Every structure is written in C-alpha cells, then in structure tokens.
Amino acid sequence: MAPHVLSNAIVLLLLVAAGFALRFVRGNRMWRDALAQLWRRRRGSLLVIVAFLLVGLLDSVAWTGGQGQDALAAHEARTVIDRLFQGDREASYSAPLADAAFYGGDPLAAPGGHWLGTDILGRDVLHRTLKGARVALMIGGLTSLIAIPLALLFGISAGYFGRRIDDAIFFLISTLASIPSLLLLIALIMALGKGTWQVCLALGITSWVGLCRVTRGETLKLRELDYVQAARALGVSHGRILVRHILPNLMHLVIITFVLMFSQLVLSEAILAYLGIGVDGSWGEMIDQARNELSREPIIWWNIAAAGSAMFTLLLAVNYVGDSLRDILDPRTLRETP
C-alpha cells in the first residue's frame, strides 16, 4: 500500500475517533463542563491548537496527479498543503515578500509571493513551516501513543498489585531515570536508525517514567478507597476493578501529562535536530539549518524566525491549555473553580 493511502486512512480514522470523542464528551457531564470551562478560559489557545491540527491534517491528505513543480512531482502524492504552494520554486534565498533574489537581485518566479521568503534552495519558507506543523504533531502524538500506554501499564500494575511487581517495576523506573536521558536518546537512535518512527520510539522509551511514577502513586491511593475495597470484597475480578474503578480515575492525569509532555517532546526533537539526529522536515531541522544564516552579512533571519515562532506559538498554546486543564480537572482545584 502506498504511504499516502495509509496516511489518508489514518486521517479518516482520526476524524472518526474525534467524532466519537466529541459524542462521549457531550454525553458526560464532567467532561462537558470541563470543556466548556476550558473554552471560556483559553479560547485563543484552543483556536491556535485547532488551526495547527487542521494544517497537520491537511498536510496528511495526499493524492497523485496534477501538475507539480518539476517533472517528478506529477507522479508523487502531494498533500493539500503542497498543492497550495506549487509552481513557484526560486533559485535561492529571497526575503519575505521580495520581488528579487536576495543575492544578485535576479527577478523571482513569484515576485511578492513568498510571504516568509525562501530558503537556500529556493523553497518557500511558509510551506516548510506549515509542513513542520505535521511533523511536530506527529512527534508529540506518536510518542505519547507509545509512552502513555507503557506508563499506564507499568504504573497501574505497580500501584495495584504491589509487592514483587512493584519492586521490579520501580527498579526498572529508577534505572531508566538515572541514565542521562539525552545519552539514552542518542544511543537508542543510533541503534534504531534515523527516521520519524525511530525518533518517536526513542523519545517514547525515555519519557514514560514520569507519568509512570504519578500513576503508580495515584493507584496506590485509589486502591485503598472504600469503593475499591468494597468491589474486592464482593469478589470482582482484578481486571474489572482496574478498568471500571482505577483507570477512569486516572484519566485526568493522563490528559494533563499528555498535554504537558507534548510540548516537552517537540522541544526535545529540536535538541536532537541540533545534534544531527532529528526528524526530516521538522522545525528543529529548520532552526539547525538556519544557525549559520544568522552569522551571514546581511543576515538571513526568516528561516529561523518562521520555524521559531511557529514552534513558540504552538507550544505556548499547548502549555496554556495544559495549565488550565490541570486547574479544571485536578480534584484538588475542582471545587474552588467557579
């Protein structure tokens, strides 16, 4: 199956999942209230996140056909975003909205058409920045998909079953936590090879420990609560207790951690890009490439500015939403909020 078909299918799946999630939220009073409160408090940030998500989705829907920038593009699957930016490839650098090339001053193919200028190979910077949104979301999303189940599995089993299992898991966690995480990341990527999946896997393996500690602690507490004790006394199976009583009470933690971890991951990728082991097409890569451009005379700032502000905007919005979510969902602050 061609990769773009898979990508399209995943987009469809995501949309369906989002529909179900919305229905669930509408049917559940607590979640509905939380969402409404979040919307009231952080409307701007939510809109920014939705915009980035939309760009990421648009950049994941691709099909072949049509005329492209060059002979090869016609045979390639191009996304909606690619199709918006085709046919205006320049020779090299041009400043934002410029009419002429930055060096030499030759006329451009699309004068005034590059809102954020072009890079050294003449590619539109706005195009690359928008494409970076998908990479950032993928890094955040995929890694969370790896890290959260791991953390939940280990955290709940350690907290709920205790004893030997707890000892073993806690030993694993402590060991992992005492390895410098950057070192471990580099080693993992060297072993797994480069690529988006590999980087996400490596980030996932190094970032589940924090959530695992939290879920373990929370489970330890939940295990002793009256209704759990009652369920156990009535002979309800472990699996059922975990699914009905423990897991739902951990969900708010999962969501808060997910949101906060997300921004951490996108930043980690930028550091990895700096070390030369990042993901192709990411903002981290753009920033790393632009490092030397800053020391040029005259300075070329639009690459680093575009990638930097895109990253900043997304992460700021995510952090705002994360903070508000904590306020809203954390039981300790739940009652205090109006």
Partner 1 sequence: MRQVWVAAALVGSLCVLAVGCNNNPYPEHDAELKVLYSAFSTPHRSLDPAEAYNVSAHRVTGLVYDTLLEYHFLKRPYTLIPGLAKQVPTAEPLEDGRVRYRFTLRPGVNFAPDPCFELGGAGRVTREATMEDVAYQLMRLADPALNVQVRDQFSNIQGFKQFHRALIERRGADPAFAALPAREQYAALGGVEGVRIEHPHALEITLHSPYPQILYWFAMEFTTPVAWEAVEYYDGEAGRERYADHPVGTGPFGIDVYDKRSRIVLDRNPHWYGLADPRAPGAHYPEEGAPGDAEAGLLDAAYVGRPLPFLDRVEFRLEKEGIPLFNKFLQGYYDSGGIIKESFDQVVQSERLSPEMAAREIRLQKAVSPGIFNLGFNMEDETLGVPAGDRGRKLRQAMSLAVDSEKWIELFLNGRGLPAQTPIPPVISGAPEGYLNPYRQVDLDRARALLVEAGYPDGIDPATGAPLKLTFDAYEVSSQSRPERQYFVDEWRKLGINVELSSTTYNEFQEKVDRGAYQIYFWGWSADYPDPENFLFLLSCAMRKSTTGGPNSANFCHPGFESLFNQMEVMEDGPERRAIIREMVAILEQERPWIEIFNGVGYSLAHGWLANVKPFGMSYPMTKYLDIDPVKRARVRLSWNEPVVWPVFAIAGMFVVGIIPGFRTFFRERQ
The yes or no reply on residue 291 touching partner 1 (CB under 8 A) is: yes
In SS3 terms, 113-151 reads as CCCCCECCCCCEHHHHHHHHHHHHHHHHHHHHHHHHHHH
User: Rounded to the nearest whole angstrom, what is the least distance from the CB of residue 12 to partner 1 in the complex?
Assistant: 25
The yes or no reply on residue 63 touching partner 1 (CB under 8 A) is: no
Q: Which of 295, 332, 335, 338 binds partner 1 (CB under 8 A)?
A: 295
The yes or no reply on residue 292 touching partner 1 (CB under 8 A) is: yes
User: Rounded to the nearest whole angstrom, what is the least distance from the CB of residue 110 to partner 1 in the complex?
Assistant: 17
In this complex, which beta carbon is closest to partner 1, that of residue 122 or of residue 210?
122
User: Rounded to the nearest whole angstrom, what is the least distance from the CB of residue 127 to partner 1 in the complex?
Assistant: 14
Residue 63 bridge partners (DSSP):
78
Return the range that interacts with partner 1 (CB under 8 A); candidates 72-80, 106-114, 219-227, 242-250: 72-80
Q: Which is nearest to 59 in space by CA: 88, 87, 89, 84?
A: 84
User: Rounded to the nearest whole angstrom, what is the least distance from the CB of residue 10 to partner 1 in the complex?
Assistant: 22
Q: Which is nearest to 266 in space by CA: 200, 320, 180, 198?
A: 200
The yes or no reply on residue 124 touching partner 1 (CB under 8 A) is: no
The yes or no reply on residue 241 touching partner 1 (CB under 8 A) is: no
Tokens of 267: 């930043």
Angle between helices 196-207 and 247-274 (to 10 degrees): 120
Q: Which of 67, 193, 237, 337 binds partner 1 (CB under 8 A)?
A: 193
Return the range that interacts with partner 1 (CB under 8 A); candidates 26-34, 177-185, 270-278, 304-312: 270-278
User: Rounded to the nearest whole angstrom, what is the least distance from the CB of residue 297 to partner 1 in the complex?
Assistant: 4
Q: Which is nearest to 251 in space by CA: 72, 25, 47?
A: 25
The yes or no reply on residue 70 touching partner 1 (CB under 8 A) is: yes
The yes or no reply on residue 3 touching partner 1 (CB under 8 A) is: no
Q: Which of 44, 243, 276, 316 binds partner 1 (CB under 8 A)?
A: 276
User: Rounded to the nearest whole angstrom, what is the least distance from the CB of residue 196 to partner 1 in the complex?
Assistant: 13
Tokens of 96: 């934002």
The yes or no reply on residue 77 touching partner 1 (CB under 8 A) is: no
- For residues 152 and 216, is the Cβ–Cβ distance under 8 A? no
- Residues 302 and 115: their CA atoms lie apart, in Å, by 10
Q: Which of 98, 203, 288, 317 binds partner 1 (CB under 8 A)?
A: 288
In this complex, which beta carbon is closest to partner 1, that of residue 201 or of residue 246?
201
Q: Which is nearest to 287 in space by CA: 240, 278, 168, 296?
A: 278
DSSP tag of 224: T
User: Rounded to the nearest whole angstrom, what is the least distance from the CB of residue 18 to partner 1 in the complex?
Assistant: 33
Neighbour-count burial of 139, counting CB atoms closer than 10 A to its CB (0-12 exposed, 13-18 middle, 19+ buried): buried
Give, in order, the Cα–Cα distances in Å from 5 to each of 10, 62, 64, 69, 71.
9, 8, 10, 22, 22
| Residue type, position 224, single letter | E
Residues within window 80-119 making contact with partner 1, judged by CB under 8 A: 91-92, 119
Binding site for partner 1 (CB under 8 A): 70-73, 75-76, 91-92, 119-121, 190, 193-194, 273, 276, 278, 285, 288-289, 291-292, 295-298
